[in-house]
Amino acid sequence: MWLSLKYILESVQGTLLSGDVNAWVEGISTDSRRYDPKQVFFALEGENFDGHDYVNQLIETGAAAVVVSKPDKISSFGSTAVIVVRDTLQALQSLAAGFRHRFDIPVVAVTGSVGKTTTKDMLAACLAPVYNTLKTPGNFNNEIGLPLTLLSLNDSHQAAVVELAMRARGEIARLSAILRPTHAIITNVEAVHLETMGSLENIAAAKCEVLEFISPDKFVLMNGDNHYLLEAAQKYPCIKHTFGYNDGCDVRIIQVAKSGAGINISLSLWGQKHDFYFPLPAPQLAPNLAAAVGCAILLGVSPAIIHQGLSSYQTAENRLNIIELPEGGAVINDTYNANPVSMTAAIEVCREISMNRRAVATLGDMLELGDFEKEGHLLVGRRAAQLNMDLIVTLGERAAYIAEGAIEAGLPAERVVSFTRREDALEWLRRNVSRRDVVLFKGSRGMRMEEILQGWLIPA
């Protein structure tokens, strides 16, 4: 992607201190470690970092252009174009918002408490045979990642599926103002971010902020089993479609059955029955699949083509990624994040695919649950006991409630072990868990459970 400095200057309302206004740059960067000298570098500031600390180094190595808010930190300009703005993050967002308007294509915003990334990936797979589709990479779903996603659009793209995350009221609205989605999917409302949101009603209202930006002739596809969402969406004038298990849903889940390494799902699509196969053994993902299929149908993709697209589906990194081991066991890497709903679903997958192997759940703290913190962990433990997991290993003070819930629900205490120190948990896993077992690793992002996984899978 080539951009002229003149276009960037006008978009960010900046001042050019040095360089040629008629020059061009190839792409955007916010990470000095991965910077290409042909790009324009935005010196973003955060709680624990300041991109301005690296600007002089980049200029010395021949950076094409930098966008800064602290020009006094620059020793010399050299041949680098230096653009000064009041706020570098706002400048990046303004550039992305303007750039997005160049593209008259379907842009689907995917939000919700749980399953955003999975739904986004499913929908992109459904659309791929018909539309060259841009989708949010990795976890680029926030105030920095969203602009970078939009700035990767090019003339070959025919559709975009973009994930929107939030922790507080107003964040979805701010992201949507940049994205300007044409359509939306809202997956669900669950007890996530209660620490900052306070109630499920507040979460539903926050998720529905995206609907302010959907025009009356365009649609949202939302979870019809969730009354919080249905009520919060009423005040918005866009077309509303629903998915779920309830009889009144436009995309209704009729039946879900395991089939080999995947699931067969029967859907009623506005009264017409169709069957689909999804290559992941997780019946819990049926609502996500219903949302993706329904949205693709609404965007003009036929059921036959959707079959083709789903056959190429691949899990995102660190999200329910099942790795078969040569010794006969398997690892389920679901370490990206966690809440009671997604953790319970992952444990169910672990139990389902274990067959005659031991099912081991290695679980870390779930963060940001607010007043639901203790009960949320206890619920996960109770469900693990109902599933008769062979072994539960917990890491963290909060996750100890998972162990407590499991034992209270009848799982023998000798099959439950808890740790507060990462080193102790890893050492115990190495001594007591075999590569012939099916081992799930899951916890909130801050617990860095992927490091425990790697430490067990590939001992030093």
**Of the spans 93-97, 340-344, 366-370, which averages the highest pLDDT?**
93-97
Is 246 in the same domain as 372?
no
CA atoms of 441 and 113, how far apart (whole Å): 20
DSSP code for 232: H
Query: For residue 193, is pLDDT > 70?
Result: no
pLDDT tens for 411-433 read 999 999 999 999 999 999 999 99
Query: For residue 238, is pLDDT > 80?
Result: yes
CATH number, position 243: 3.40.1190.10
The mean per-residue pLDDT over the stretch 297-317 comes to 90
Query: For residue 284, is pLDDT > 60?
Result: yes
- pTM, entire model: 0.84
Say what the pLDDT of residue 336 is.
87
Is 192 in the same domain as 305?
yes
Is 247 in the same domain as 290?
yes
Look up residue 435 and give its two tokens.
């590569």
In a domain, 91, yes or no: no
Structural domain count, the chain: 3
Is 182 in the same domain as 292?
yes
Q: Could you say which of 279, 310, 341 is where a domain stops?
A: 310
Say what the pLDDT of residue 460 is.
56
CA atoms of 106 and 95, how far apart (whole Å): 20
Name the pLDDT band for 79 (thresholds 50, 70, 90). Answer: very high
Is 194 in the same domain as 285?
yes
Q: Could you say which of 310, 338, 362 is where a domain stops?
A: 310
The mean per-residue pLDDT over the stretch 339-346 comes to 90
Least confident of 52-61, 187-196, 350-359, 451-460: 187-196
Query: For residue 321, is pLDDT > 90?
Result: no
The chain-wide mean pLDDT, for the chain, equals 94
For the CA atoms of 271, 272, 273, 274, what is the dihedral angle to 10 degrees? -140
The mean per-residue pLDDT over the stretch 365-372 comes to 88
Give the rounded percent of residues in the chain with a pLDDT score beyond 70: 99
Query: For residue 448, is pLDDT > 70?
Result: yes
What is the SS3 assignment for 245-301?
CCCCCCEEEEEEEEECCEEEEEEEECCEEEEEEECCCCHHHHHHHHHHHHHHHHCCC
State the residue range of the domain holding 184. Answer: 103-310
